Amino acid sequence: MARVRRRLEKLKLSTLYSFALCAKGSTEDHSKIGTTGFSRVVYVNDPDRHEEEGFRYPRNEVSTTKYSLVTFVPKSLFEQFRRVANFYFLVSGILTLTPLAPYSAVSALLPLSVVITATMLKEGVEDWRRKQQDIELNNRIVKVHRGNGSFEETKWKYIKIGDVIKVEKDNFFPADLILLSSNYPDGICYVETMNLDGETNLKIKQALEVTSDLQEDGDFTNLRQIVKCEDPNANLYSFVGTMDYKGMQHPLSPQQLLLRDSKLRNTDYIYGAVIFTGHDTKVMQNATEPPSKRSKIEKKMDNIIYLLLCSLLGIALLGSVFFGIWTKADLRNGETKRWYLRPDDSTVFYDPKRAPLASFCHLLTALMLYNYFIPISLYISIEMVKILQAVFINQDIDMYDEESDKPTHARTSNLNEELGQVDTILSDKTGTLTCNMMEFIKCSIAGTAYGQSVTEVEKAMALRKGVPLGDEIEAGGHKEKQIEESPHVKGFNLKDPRIMDGNWIHEPNKDVIRDFFRLLAICHTCIPEVDETDKVSYEAESPDEAAFVIAARELGFEFYKRTQTSIFIRERDPSQNVADYQYRKYELLNVLEFSSSRRRMSVIVKEPEPEGRILLFSKGADSVMFTRLAPDGRKFEEETKRHINEYSDSGLRTLVLAYRVLDEKEYENFAEKFRTAKISGSADRDEQIGEAADSIERDLILLGATAVEDKLQKGVPECIDKLAQAGIKIWVLTGDKMETAINIGFACSLLRQGMTQIIIALEAPDIIALEKNGDKDSIAKASKQSVMGQIEDGIKQVPTLGQSSTESFALIIDGKSLTYALEDDVKFKFLDLAVKCASVICCRSSPKQKALVTRLVKHSDKVTLAIGDGANDVGMLQEADIGVGISGVEGMQAVMASDIAIAQFRFLERLLLVHGHWCYRRISVMICYFFYKNVTFGVTIFLYEAFASFSGKPAYNDWFLSLYNVFFTSLPVIALGVFDQDVSSRLCLQQREGQKA
């Protein structure tokens, strides 16, 4: 019982997430239920009734295979004979069954059969692996209600629509469910959607109040509900439905929807009703076939085969014409010149009296005879070589990340040689160039800047200006070296003796500093987890929030427990000079959750006695927070703004912290207004909730600002520098503001000293004036004209191809400008400017813009490589010729959409400059070798035919002819394609200039 009590005490979040849940409440039109597209009816806890009512819902078994036992042979054969060379050999093989054949049918059809069978086996093995994954998934176990309150373990594939299932902690949801209840009294549960959208932060779901008390197995004995909802669709973030329960209609929203393949976290168990199964689930509705990507070499190879076919037809026609002429002239005065052709035993294939028909028959014979111009084993040999090349890439120890224990993984081998032809790299920033692991590094409190650590951007800026930074940095009379020996804490890198180890008590504004640290410890939605050694770790929705609570803990204000209505802080009082904690319990009244439109979050708490004040703690973006300060709360505004600008210039992410004291009456008025907004059933409920929150988040008192650093990954600057020297252009597509992106660009060597910057932004006074007036049409028209003008000015700056210039250019464009630059009548001018620049940075870009930019770059007919780590990069990865996923902390969505997965950005250097060079050269030489040996062989047959007056007889034995391609000459070519190295990897990396083949 004590364990259960502790669990229930840990969290009951209906109050804590009051704003978050209500703000995300359903605003969909539930009157649509029952109409087209909204016709699904589910009888909860009565799955057999659906068949009685005539509803035909699919099974929960899913299949991701390309073939089945029935379709494998026909579909696979169709795929093989779509290749022009294979189709040619099939037709040629069929003709060998006729008397026209110059050799036996077996010797012609056997090599084709070997090649086709080998390729089909390869396809079959790959599909069988997918089948094994499906079998493992479909046979997972979950508890399903089978009547009388009894839950039995059942395989996923046997789950039906309407089943009530019980999912336990750290297990995946087997189908799309309506959340009925959880082990928490108010039906709260935590869900990790990493498999769906790549995000590792936890989402909060909440059951309807009417079902949240169904917390025991026996409660489901007589449960009956009818759910009416939308039909299956691919939209992950919307859901419209109603639940008929105990004679009442209750609206359902996405807040009650648990999606297949997401995982239950930090919750012991949930009960849910199945509403979508199998291929009707939203994740399967989104599971489209990845785009088919073919390398440029493959496309050229097809053209060469077409050329060889034309050549083959040409020499066959030439030989047939000569054969017809000589045949017609062969019979003269009753005597035969070519007596050895036995005209006395002639058929239509050689008949001087019917020369045109003989000539046509000879053409068919010649087409079979000269088919050795086409390498029959070319495709299968290339596939074998590419697979072996991919194995070598996967096993390269120099591209293995020991820290994460992740090697490089070539998920497709079709694009190996493209790696050596990359012209443009399009990269995400956060998590790709940076680690996506935030560290609290600096802060500004009461107008004083704290934190002496040097960021990587600052190092790059100092290097750029020629001012070297010393090993020791002095600030406030203290040297960083004194605290350098303290152990590093993940998420915390603040180094300043003035506030470390309780020394903040001696600072002039110690009360402001204390309130600043308390705000960090209280204003968040993190979940604490205490282990056996009483050490606290945190589950946070974002790395930033984790960095804040870790910083508060390290500075003596440890957030260690959260209950339904309370937050517990352990504080060390430096004035007491004791190591023991002081426990402070804050009554949690409301959480006003962060959103992209609000750009801030707040909590309202009541202090413990004797103070007993009601406090509003708030943190948010500077553009929002400074406008909400009270006239008497701006004491440190100028200093804080200056520090924020310095932090932004150093590539740091900043937030402003402020608070206010609420009197009882003011809070009661807000609470009533907020409660009324929450229970409102009107369409503008979200707006009412937002207005209520907005009304209380005013007249704030400024405390200071935080600065967290997202460190560059190891080796990023060196890698970018080497890629640039190899002639590869690098574009960075980031959501950061322009100043931060520019400084990060210098830190990672994307921007270099002496590089001319072409900046396109909508910050002209006339545009700003129009934005204040709010006329959307005028703003759009003026903005577009401004962007076009700036692009044209940039094109004039950059020298054309005929002009020689040693100057390099960098293009920097913000998100608003990019919107207009990607319009149909502007985008090619933008592309013309961008491809002439050595580096391009797109700031404030959305996931859709990333994909559109990638699609635009492909119009330049250059090989593009996109690299990213999160779900927002998937469109970009699929659009690019090569998609590279970073297997980092943002889940596996980008990796699953990629062609190649690597653990660190720096491995791109070896992947492109070494393996790309080798693979491109190997495949190119191998193809040339193939065509050379076959053309050589074919020409010898042609010369023999010319010598033998085009009689259609082979110069070699049947089996010599057939085995020439398949066995006699295939192994040396394959060995060349797998093992050949024109230079070593060391020389590849040394001689970077011109590595792009």
User: CA 426 to CA 839: how far, in whole Å?
Assistant: 10
The tokens for 951 are 């009689």
26, 745, 761, 990 from 750: Cα distances, Å: 44, 5, 20, 20
Residue of 824, 807, 705, 685 whose CA lies nearest to 758:
807
Region of residue 431 (left: phi > 0; alpha: psi -120 to 50; beta: else): left
User: CA 683 to CA 687: how far, in whole Å?
Assistant: 9
Secondary structure letter of residue 904 according to DSSP: S
The alpha carbon of residue 35 and the mean position of all alpha carbons in its chain are separated, in whole angstroms, by 36
The tokens for 37 are 């597209």
User: CA 612 to CA 422: how far, in whole Å?
Assistant: 64
Residues at the binding site for ATP are: 428-430, 545, 594, 619, 653, 734-736, 844, 850, 872-873
User: CA 400 to CA 907: how far, in whole Å?
Assistant: 8
User: CA 800 to CA 75: how far, in whole Å?
Assistant: 51
Residue of 153, 146, 157 whose CA lies nearest to 59:
157
Residues at the binding site for Mg(2+) are: 428, 430, 869, 873
Rg over alpha carbons for the chain, rounded to the nearest Å, is 36
Per-position b or e across 227-264, b if 16+ CB within 10 A of its CB: bbbbebeeebeebbbbbebeeeebbbbbbbbbbbbbbb
Residue of 872, 906, 877 whose CA lies nearest to 891:
872
Degrees (nearest 5) of the Cα angle 582, 583, 584?
115
Which residue in the list 176, 186, 428, 544 is annotated as catalytic?
428
Is-contact 655 620, C-beta < 8 A?
Answer: yes
User: CA 810 to CA 758: how far, in whole Å?
Assistant: 6
Residue of 274, 252, 270, 264 whose CA lies nearest to 184:
270
The tokens for 52 are 């009685």
Told to judge if 428 belongs to the known catalytic residues of this protein, a careful annotator would answer yes
3-state DSSP call for residue 586?
A: strand
Is-contact 41 226, C-beta < 8 A?
Answer: yes
Q: Is 537 exposed, middle or buried (0-12, 13-18, 19+ CB in 10 A)?
A: middle
Q: What is the DSSP string of 809-825?
A: EEEEE-HHHHHHHTSTT
Bridge partners (DSSP) listed for residue 603? 591, 617
3-state DSSP call for residue 865?
A: strand
Amino acid type, 474: E
Residue of 399, 426, 384, 418 whose CA lies nearest to 918:
418
Q: What is the DSSP string of 918-931?
A: HHHHHHHHHHHHHH
59, 308, 880, 939, 947 from 943: Cα distances, Å: 65, 17, 47, 6, 6
3-state DSSP call for residue 760?
A: strand
C-alpha count within 13 angstroms, C-beta hemisphere, residue 335: 2
The tokens for 48 are 């057999």
Secondary structure letter of residue 862 according to DSSP: -
Residues at the binding site are: 428-430, 545, 594, 619, 653, 734-736, 844, 850, 869, 872-873
Residue 413 φ then ψ, to 5°: -100, 5
In sign, the C-alpha dihedral spanning 836, 840, 843, 849 is positive
Active site residues: 428
